[in-house]
Amino acid sequence: MSAQKPIEFSGACPIPISQYPQVLMAHGGGGRLMHQLIGKMFLAAFHNPLLDTQHDAAVAELTGKKIAFTTDSYVVRPMFFPGGDIGSMAVHGTVNDLAMAGARPLYLSSAFIIEEGLPMETLWKIVCSMRDAAKKCGVQIITGDTKVVDKGKGDGVFINTAGIGVIEHEQKIAPQNVRAGDAILVSGDVGRHGMAIMAVREGLEFESKIESDSAPVHEAVLKLLKAGIEIHCLRDLTRGGLTSALNEIAEAANRTLLVDEKLIPVREDVQAACEILGLDPFQVACEGRFAAFIAANDSERALKILRANPGGIGACVIGKVSEERSADVFLKSAIGARRILDMASGEQLPRIC
Amino acid sequence: MKFLDEYRDGELAQQFAREIHRITTKPWNIMEICGGQTHAIVKFGIDELLPKKITLIHGPGCPVCVTPLEMIDKALEIAARPNVIFASFGDMLRVPGSTTDLLSVKASGGDVRIVYSPLDAVKLAEQNPAKEIVFFGVGFETTAPATALAIYQAAQKKLRNFSMLISHVLVPPAMEALLSSPNCRVQGFLAAGHVCAVMGYEEYFSIAKKYRVPIVVTGFEPLDILQGVLMTVQQLESGRAEVENQYSRAVRREGNQPAQDLIQEVFRVVPRKWRGVGEIPQSGLGLGDKYAEFDAEKKFGVAHHHVEESADCQSGLVLQGQIKPHECPAFGAKCTPEHPLGATMVSSEGACAAYYRYRRMPDLIGAK
């Protein structure tokens, strides 16, 4: 990679034509190309102190109250999958982004882009699923928008939700607050959502169905906060999975992270599906999992709280933040050697053999 | 996970490593043929456990990497045509051709689809009778039976809208080409277990004898590779040059006969260009006369395209084990997975990709 000069405002496209004249699927894959797109185009154009924190949700102060604000779009195929659907995911995903800023989620917006011809019944199922998920999360959907596009110009339905939450504590939760010695926790087994989707898409059949881990995580986070756990940073493990989340934090915090392959929980069926398809489970998306950077003294207590929460039984410590400041993530391999845990380039592509 | 964890046991790995240290008295260069083995070596850090005297040389066994540039260009040309559905293994999509790659052709409106099996492409042909379905048939002997089966089924079903762009390659001729080269440093081989699961290992006896080189059929998990290295070093230290089978849980001497029959039925052995290496006689598989109608090169009139490869990319030297990926001046600078010069940087079995992904740091590369 050639060294990139900081972007100055100019009329020219910051991603030179010579590299990628068109948007590729990989630019949305959660890997390095997506980060380059966001960094060089969106951050450069919109840059302001709140956006520049590059957090899952922005934290702003409005008349003395601290609020978190975020948005996310949902384009998942198939729309219904084992363990969830696009509707519940559109609620959980945005609720979780707010939770990553340590906020109590309150209100959501919901915008539908619907393709002409979508059966009403399908839409109703999705809407009901959103309603139920919102109720379960204790949030209200208070505004929305509906657009219909020509047949062939959409893919069933795309949903965007934005969310607002309120921050009721004094802790500063952001990548920049990660400290040397912090314990790195994950809230459960990784890679399940992505493999559930992949199994349906590719018609893979296993003895038992792999179910998505799609779930809200805000209650677990609020419990950690209530117990006074010193949380330095939180990040959900969505696109790009654990590796993207850890690399993003390492980069934003300029800290070296050390994790141990043997400690990272991956369910056996997920591991098997990944082996068959040649994918790395650490790069596969979750929809109900997060990484937490916790002050070392508090890690045992935090673990107890996470494990007592529904779906949190698999929570564990996977590594720690090192004294080094190299913005890299290192993994101790199963046989004890050390290597980089790198972010994928674009989407993971299944290999030949 | 059963059948996996037992081959990744850290303590057993250390035991193998200690035994290798104990018996090694001289420097030895051992080549692992297969890119899958290269990735396991770099990913798990297997080479770090070995004595400094043993050098693992990464071999040419990455089908994506050795597919010649002109074949990629042919794929790009066919995939961009209207009315074509171009089906490929996911690995091939990021491989750079002369000007672009299949992912970009897809972004420009080409109908490029990832399939997991060539048989999925046959299904596509049945489901889309008004479209031309072209499958990119690449790989070693490992994937050749599946490719052959797809052609065989398409013929049985009399599918007229199905064809294949074929760039299948064979391992033993490549080993001979490497061993005949005056620059050859290889003193022992870990043969690719999956290839042998299909073909058996009869073919290797004459090579071991002619070039006086030990060949150990080896699997892909850390303990497989360590045991393969141990068996090779045992041979080298005792002056033997034999064919042995470490991967006996998957490989029999005679291989998989029905799979070989299928390959014989559908294919014939042809000369084949290897990217970065050049043409190796009798090193490829092409369609036999009986199945010539499924040849996409003829169907789409691209058979006579020839392209010269860029001088910036030294993947040929990497594939022949003459340099390690990080010794290429372009590595990590002009050439990254986001902007690759050659296929070795993007294939999941490519040596450059393995080094970039797991060892980018100078101190990790310097570790061995």
Looking at the domain assignment, is residue A159 inside a domain? yes
Are B102 and B91 in contact, with CB atoms under 8 Å apart? Answer: no
A350 cis-preceded (ω within 30 degrees of 0): no
Chain A residues contacting B, CB < 8 Å? 1-2, 19-20, 22-26, 32-33, 36, 202, 262, 268, 271-272, 275, 277-278, 328, 333-340, 342, 345-346, 349-353
Cα angle A169, A172, A177; round to 5: 160
Position A37 in a domain: no
Does the residue A36 lie in any domain? no
Residue A330 and residue A198 share a domain: yes
pLDDT number for residue A310: 86
Q: Is the pLDDT of residue A6 over 60?
A: no
More confident residue, B156 or A64: B156
**A235: CB partners within 8 A, 6+ apart:** A56, A100, A175, A245, A248, A249, A290, A291
For residue A17, the model assigns a pLDDT of 42
* Of residues B341, B186, B184, B225, the one with CA closest to residue B275: B341
In a domain, A13, yes or no: no
Question: Could you count the other beta carbons within 10 Å of the beta carbon of residue A178?
Answer: 20
pLDDT beyond 70 at A319: yes
Given CB atoms, is B89 within the 8 Å cutoff of chain A? yes
Whether residue A317 sits in one domain with residue A335: yes
- The pLDDT of residue A18: 43
% of residues, chain B, pLDDT over 70: 98
Q: Render B259-277 in DSSP notation, one character per residue.
A: HHHHHHHHEEEEEEEETTT
pLDDT of residue B43 exceeding 50: yes
Output A279 or A18, whichever has higher pLDDT.
A279
**Which residue among A335, A350, A353 places its CB closest to the CB of B139?**
A353
CA A262 – CA A257 distance, rounded (Å): 15
Give the type of residue at B54. Answer: I
Task: Answer whether A335 sits within 8 Å of B49, measured CB to CB.
Answer: yes
A 10 A CB-CB count for A13 gives: 10
| pLDDT the model gives residue A336 | 84
DSSP H helical segments within B186-289, as ranges?
Answer: 193-199, 203-211, 222-237, 257-266
Domain boundary (A134, A166, A198) is at A166
Asked if residue B284 has pLDDT above 90, the reply is yes
Please name the member of A272, A339, A353 whose beta carbon is closest to the beta carbon of B143: A353
Amino acid B208: pLDDT:
98
Domain that holds residue A238: 175-340
Together in a domain, A204 and A158: no
Same domain, residue pair A201 and A131 = no
Residue B28 sits at φ, ψ, to 5 deg, of: -135, 140
Confirm whether B280 is domain-assigned. yes
- Rounded to a whole number of angstroms, the CA Rg of chain B reads 21
Looking at the structure, tell me whether residues A146 and A199 fall in a common domain: no
Determine whether A300 is exposed, middle or buried from the number of CB atoms within 10 Å of its CB (0-12, 13-18, 19+). Answer: exposed
Residues A199, A136 within the same domain: no
Write out the two tokens for A98.
Answer: 């707010």
Is residue B4's pLDDT more than 50? yes
Is residue A73 in a domain? yes
**3-state DSSP call for residue B52?**
coil
pLDDT for res B366: 46
How many domains does one find in chain A? 2
How much is the average pLDDT of B115-142? 96
Contact B359 A338 (CB under 8 A): no
- B151 lies in some domain: yes
Cβ distance of B104 and A1 shorter than 8 Å? no
pLDDT tens readout for residues A51-74 = 888 888 888 888 888 999 999 999
The domain tally of chain B equals: 1
Name the packing angle between helices A192-201 and A268-277 (round to 10°).
50
Coil, strand, or helix at residue A12?
A: coil
Residue A23 to residue B104, Cβ atoms within 8 A: no
Is residue A297 in some structural domain?
yes
| A5, part of any domain | no
Neighbour tally for A49: CB within 10 Å: 8
Q: Tokens 């995911």 map to which residue?
A: A89
8 Å CB contact between B90 and A349 = yes
User: A335 to chain B: which residues are within 8 Å by CB?
Assistant: 8-10, 13-14, 44-46, 49, 222
Is A42 in a helix, a strand, or coil? helix
- Number of other residues whose CB lies within 10 A of the CB of residue A336: 18
What distance in Å separates residue A344's CA from the closest CA in chain B?
8
Report if residue B304 sits inside a domain. no
Residue A3's pLDDT is 41
Host domain of residue B121: 65-170+255-299
- H or E element in which residue A111 lies: strand A104-115
Judge: B107–A25 Cβ closer than 8 Å, yes or no: yes
Three-state DSSP at B59 gives: strand
Burial of A170 (0-12, 13-18, 19+ CB in 10 A): exposed
Q: Is B60 exposed, middle or buried (0-12, 13-18, 19+ CB in 10 A)?
A: buried
Share of chain B above pLDDT 90, in %: 77
The 10s digit of each residue's pLDDT in B7-22 is: 888 899 999 999 999 9
Average pLDDT value for residue range B200-213: 97
B250 φ, ψ (degrees, to nearest 5): -125, -20
Least confident of A141-145, A274-278, A299-303, B255-259: A274-278
Q: Tell me what the mean pLDDT of segment B192-216 comes to.
A: 97
Q: State how beta strands A257-260 and A316-321 pair.
A: antiparallel
Percent of all residues in chain A with a pLDDT value above 90, rounded to a whole number: 65
Q: Residue A59 burial (CB < 10 Å; 0-12/13-18/19+)?
A: buried
Give the CATH number for residue B282: 3.40.50.11740
In a domain, B124, yes or no: yes
Task: Determine the pLDDT at residue A15.
Answer: 54
Greatest mean pLDDT among A187-201, B133-147, B326-340 lies in B133-147
Confidence of residue A23 (pLDDT cuts 50, 70, 90): confident
A1-7 long-range contacts, CB within 8 A, separation 24+: A1/B332, A1/B333, A1/B336, A1/B338, A1/B339, A2/B333, A2/B334, A4/A40, A7/A40, A7/A44
Confidence of residue A8 (pLDDT cuts 50, 70, 90): very low
Residues B147 and B143: their CA atoms lie apart, in Å, by 6
CB contact under 8 A, B107 and A202: no
Cβ contacts of B320 within 8 Å, gap of 6 or more:
B60, B178, B181, B183, B276, B277
B39, pLDDT greater than 70: yes
CA distance A40 to A7: 7
Q: What is the pLDDT of residues A99-108, one digit of tens each?
A: 999 999 999 9
Residue A334 in contact with residue A281, Cβ under 8 Å?
Answer: no
Q: Which of these ranges, A32-36, A201-205, A227-231, B347-351, has the smallest mean pLDDT?
A: A201-205
Q: CB count, 10 Å around CB of B119?
A: 16
The helix (run of H) or strand (run of E) holding residue A300 is helix A299-308
**Mean pLDDT, chain B, integer:** 93
Give long-range contacts, CB 8 A cutoff, 24+ apart: B284-293. B284/B167, B284/B168, B284/B169, B284/B170, B285/B144, B285/B166, B285/B168, B285/B169, B285/B170, B286/B166, B286/B168, B287/B151, B287/B164, B287/B166, B291/B151, B291/B155, B291/B266, B293/B163
End-to-end CA distance of chain B: 30
* pLDDT of B361 strictly over 80: no
The CATH number assigned to the domain holding A109 equals 3.30.1330.10
- Give pLDDT, residue B362: 59
Distance, in angstroms, between B262 CA and closest chain A CA? 18
B300 close contact with A: CB closer than 8 A: no
Q: Considering only residues 339 to 358 of chain B, which have any Cβ-Cβ distance to chain A shorter than 8 Å?
A: 339, 346-349, 356-358
For chains A and B, count residue pairs whose Cβ atoms are closer than 8 Å: 120
Is residue A106 one of the residues assigned to a domain? yes
The reply to whether B291 falls in a domain is yes
| Single residue among A112, A132, A166 that ends a domain in this structure | A166
pLDDT of residue A142: 92
State the pLDDT confidence band at A5, using cuts at 50, 70 and 90. Answer: very low
Ranking B199-213, B308-322, B326-340 by mean pLDDT, the lowest is: B308-322
For residue A292, the SS3 value is: strand
- Partner-chain contact A336 B337, CB within 8 Å: no
For residue B55, list its beta bridge partners: B29
pLDDT for B211 equals 97
Give the model's pLDDT for residue A11: 54
Q: What is the pTM of this model?
A: 0.84
The complex's ipTM?
0.78
Nearest to A73 by CA among A239, A264, A267: A239
Report DSSP state, residue B252: -
Residue-averaged pLDDT of chain A: 89
Is the pLDDT confidence value at A339 over 80? Answer: yes
pLDDT tens per residue across span B76-96: 999 999 999 999 998 899 899
B175: closest CA among B40, B320, B54? B320
**pLDDT band (50, 70, 90) for residue B368:** very low
